[in-house]
């Protein structure tokens, strides 16, 4: 396996465990991620972008994105303070634009991937994806990351 392929596989394994609510597996698989690797976060970003575009198939205005982020943060309760709303809004906008939204500045890679993981979980739940659709999403993200 190449570095990019193994990084993609490890990230998607982590996301798959999270989507399955396998928190022990999530914690164990997370240890395989290398936050200093050159491909860190790419597979999760691909899955997040796919889920965001499926959730908002017609796109979303800045006001809609802001409202979505407000609702998302409101659902987190105790850990909502861990995420900056403006940062999450930029991530959602970037996801809707295929990862190329202008002017998106990222925090450290760990914060970025954590935010995308939690947002992806929320999007997948909103879309009503069961195990088959989740596997399809992860497979498509793997293809996009390897392209």
How far is the CA of 6 from the CAs of 15, 18, 38, 104, in angstroms? 14, 18, 12, 27
- Start-to-end CA span in the chain (Å): 15
Q: What is the DSSP letter of 81?
A: G
pLDDT recorded at residue 39: 86
pLDDT, position 22: 93
Closest CA to 100 of 55, 53, 37: 53
Instruction: Identify the pLDDT of residue 102.
Output: 47
Per-residue confidence in pLDDT tens, the chain, 147 aa: 455 678 889 999 999 999 999 999 999 999 989 998 888 999 999 999 999 999 999 999 999 999 999 988 888 766 666 788 999 999 999 999 876 544 555 668 888 999 999 999 999 999 999 999 999 999 999 999 986
Q: Please report the sign of the dihedral spanned by the C-alpha atoms of residue 83, residue 86, residue 89, residue 94.
A: negative
The Cα 7–Cα 50 span in angstroms is: 18
pTM of the model: 0.89
Structural tokens at position 5:
């392929």
Give the pLDDT score at 137.
97
Q: Are 48 and 116 in contact (CB under 8 A)?
A: yes
What's the confidence (pLDDT) of residue 77? Answer: 67
């Amino acid at each position: 396996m190449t570095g990019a392929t193994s990084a993609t596989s490890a990230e998607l394994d982590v996301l798959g465990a999270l989507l399955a609510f396998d928190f022990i597996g999530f914690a164990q698989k997370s240890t395989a991620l290398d936050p200093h690797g050159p491909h860190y976060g790419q597979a999760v970003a691909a899955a997040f972008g796919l889920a965001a575009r499926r959730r908002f198939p017609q796109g979303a205005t800045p006001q809609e994105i802001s409202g979505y982020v407000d609702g998302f943060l409101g659902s987190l309760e105790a850990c909502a303070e861990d995420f900056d709303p403006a940062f999450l809004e930029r991530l959602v906008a970037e996801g809707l634009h295929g990862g190329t939204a202008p002017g998106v500045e990222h925090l450290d890679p760990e914060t970025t991937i954590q935010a995308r993981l939690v947002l992806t979980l929320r999007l997948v739940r909103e879309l009503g994806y069961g195990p088959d659709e989740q596997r399809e999403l992860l497979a498509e993200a793997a293809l996009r990351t390897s392209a």
